Structure 1
């Protein structure tokens, strides 16, 4: 029984009966005799209990007010509960929103399972979700897209994290494939790496990279133009420094020497341009790694990750154009992000695949030729989860 203040009262006891406490909401309630014999209880001292059941004056225990530390602890506990509930809902929403469109199991003959985990990270020129005006502003051109502007292998394992860029103009062997539009079977042939996506989508791209590296791709992640721009804008821009003036008409990039906070459109132009780079496609790959590391670092800062006005738009922008493999779980995607952040903080390696020639003449135009021996050594080390011994020349 409790009084109005929530204090527990002792019932008044008379031999063989219990007299109920007065219900303050029913002031005329009468005592109700118990139908069962009750053991005789000693009557509380009048110094402890009033005849009506209350405490005598001066003997009521003082109401203890929680200390400031305990009040803060309770408040934090409530906030944490709210965050967990909100986070759970966000987790379920994000997991549901993942576009698991790529079935790696359909990739045909594949290398044996390696050690550690290898992700293929792809930046495609998909224009999905972009208006005509947006395509013009981003120098994205017309059409529905269908090529890959960047491809990176991210390997995590016992010896840390390694990020390897594969230049899109790499001269590689495309495996045999069936053209989905014509039903025609194509024999294996030489071509540029980014042609694989154009000819057979993510499935053929994965098969091509696995054929030329000997590494089994465990997970696939792809983001298009629109999603990339949205992610950069959602984090409030990304700081980048350039050592010279860069003006590129094809990508639309126009930067002066020094440091800048790039918005989404500028960032897209920065990672796409190559004509102003002394090493062409290889220089572009280095810019992409540099920018991706800066983006991962910015997204992980408390001002972004803990700010719902940035975190939710960031997550929404990424999910809008993010395509992953059917076995990708949200926690695996988080592990990928953590690995990227590890690389950006200097805890891993970033390099390009070893190259023998930057420009060789081919039937498909100028292409990049890998250094076969060094590339094989690098891919063997990654497949077997051994320390990477390749030192890239700047």
Structure 2
């Protein structure tokens, strides 16, 4: 075992595993509870709304709710509404490092370390989650060009949404913000999160060694895992990849039989991160329950993670920035507007 490592040495992960749809199907399919964390931020499936509804409702109601005027830009500053029933949900990870209080000003003034857009198509058969690297050099309305994660400090959630909508040219329907401290509680409530770490590294803060291969993250180490970037030559690129890996692993664990059939574990998971969660008023437990039922067939293999296209890094003054690939982003925007992002991403994979 490596010094300062909390993980025992383990064998490499198997080369392949059965697909979700190849696993034994049970007669009773559980509806999904949509959980939010991470990076981040986070859209995850969870179990049995009809059975656990009251408990989950009480737990979820600990989350802070924001009125529409505190969240969304003025209609004139937004893209036109689409006519399909797809949903686009902005997931933000704030670096306030503490419980989000009763006022939106507790979030304003802090940078958003993690930015994701979760696209749920009209057919509710899949989810596509796009990470936007925080150093993307973009135009922030009213403030000129800056790193995209500065939008929160410059104008709060409405300016973040306006900036993201300017990039993807489609409206954000809902927003969920979680303080990073919520990662720890969620991870521990699940009994740790198992991941297949593709690259060995030691965290800059905490000096924790993360070996390559199968490891189980505790809450404290999960936070270090998703935030580290100094250990990597490509910095934020590997950081975003680790954030996506963590979210995928949480989804897989939440959708496992052990979790879906455990009302206590599901309730504990929601209870753990709800105090660190802020959502718009439309993201009620009732809305999420109905959405979960409509997505009852979605499994971890149906959730695709990708990063918004970029052209690499550069500098602006003394700052290191990421150059957006505007042509690639226009393709993403068109796929979102036409509600065929799933097909677009599959076609892109086929070309590679």
TM-score (norm 2): 0.73
Separation in structure 1 between the aligned mates of residue 325 and residue 171 of structure 2, nearest angstrom: 20
**Structure 1 equivalent of residue 127 of structure 2:** 161
Check if 1:279 corresponds to 2:234.
yes
Cα distance change, pair 340–317 in 1 and its aligned pair in 2 (3 A): farther
Q: Would the aligned equivalents of 1:253 and 1:273 in 2 still touch at CA under 8 Å? A: no
1:88, distance to aligned residue in structure 2 (A) = 4.4
**Structure 1 equivalent of residue 92 of structure 2:** 122
**Structure 2 equivalent of residue 371 of structure 1:** 325
Separation in structure 2 between the aligned mates of residue 364 and residue 239 of structure 1, nearest angstrom: 39
Cα distance change, pair 84–288 in 1 and its aligned pair in 2 (3 A): closer
1:1-394 → structure 2 map (5 Å cutoff): 87-94=52-59, 96-101=61-66, 103=68, 106-108=72-74, 109-114=77-82, 115=84, 116-129=86-99, 146-158=110-122, 160-176=126-142, 188-250=143-205, 252-334=207-289, 345-357=300-312, 359-363=313-317, 365-387=319-341, 388-390=343-345, 391=348
Q: Would the aligned equivalents of 1:232 and 1:264 in 2 still touch at CA under 8 Å? A: yes
Q: Would the aligned equivalents of 2:99 and 2:179 in 1 still touch at CA under 8 Å? A: no
**Larger deviation: 291-300 or 330-339?**
330-339
Separation in structure 2 between the aligned mates of residue 127 and residue 163 of structure 1, nearest angstrom: 24
CA RMSD of aligned residues (A): 3.1
Deviations 1:183-219 (Å, cap 9, x if unpaired)?
xxxxx31000111112222222111111222121001
Runs of 5+ consecutive residues of structure 1 not aligned to the other structure = 1-82, 131-142, 177-187
Separation in structure 1 between the aligned mates of residue 344 and residue 146 of structure 2, nearest angstrom: 29
1:389 aligns to what SS in structure 2? helix
Deviations 1:339-367 (Å, cap 9, x if unpaired)?
9998872224321111112x111136101
Separation in structure 1 between the aligned mates of residue 289 and residue 204 of structure 2, nearest angstrom: 36
1:276, distance to aligned residue in structure 2 (A) = 2.5
Q: Would the aligned equivalents of 1:343 and 1:349 in 2 still touch at CA under 8 Å? A: no
1:252, distance to aligned residue in structure 2 (A) = 4.3
Cα distance change, pair 328–84 in 1 and its aligned pair in 2 (3 A): closer
Count residues with an aligned counterpart. 288
Moved over 6 A (4+): 83-86, 335-344
Q: Would the aligned equivalents of 2:59 and 2:267 in 1 still touch at CA under 8 Å? A: no
1:237, distance to aligned residue in structure 2 (A) = 0.6
Larger radius of gyration: 1
Separation in structure 1 between the aligned mates of residue 272 and residue 251 of structure 2, nearest angstrom: 15
Cα distance change, pair 252–309 in 1 and its aligned pair in 2 (3 A): farther
1:274 aligns to what SS in structure 2? coil
Q: Would the aligned equivalents of 1:127 and 1:145 in 2 still touch at CA under 8 Å? A: no
Cα distance change, pair 86–386 in 1 and its aligned pair in 2 (3 A): closer
Runs of 5+ consecutive residues of structure 2 not aligned to the other structure = 1-47, 101-106
Q: Would the aligned equivalents of 1:226 and 1:321 in 2 still touch at CA under 8 Å? A: yes
1:389, distance to aligned residue in structure 2 (A) = 2.5
**Larger deviation: 332-341 or 200-209?**
332-341
Q: Would the aligned equivalents of 1:125 and 1:145 in 2 still touch at CA under 8 Å? A: no
Q: Would the aligned equivalents of 2:90 and 2:172 in 1 still touch at CA under 8 Å? A: yes
Separation in structure 2 between the aligned mates of residue 254 and residue 103 of structure 1, nearest angstrom: 43
TM-score (norm 1): 0.65
Q: Which has the higher contact order (CA 8 A, sep 6+)?
A: 2
Separation in structure 1 between the aligned mates of residue 111 and residue 97 of structure 2, nearest angstrom: 11
Q: Would the aligned equivalents of 2:78 and 2:165 in 1 still touch at CA under 8 Å? A: yes
Cα distance change, pair 209–246 in 1 and its aligned pair in 2 (3 A): same
Q: Would the aligned equivalents of 1:192 and 1:364 in 2 still touch at CA under 8 Å? A: no
1:127 aligns to what SS in structure 2? coil
Q: Would the aligned equivalents of 1:293 and 1:343 in 2 still touch at CA under 8 Å? A: no
Separation in structure 1 between the aligned mates of residue 190 and residue 245 of structure 2, nearest angstrom: 17
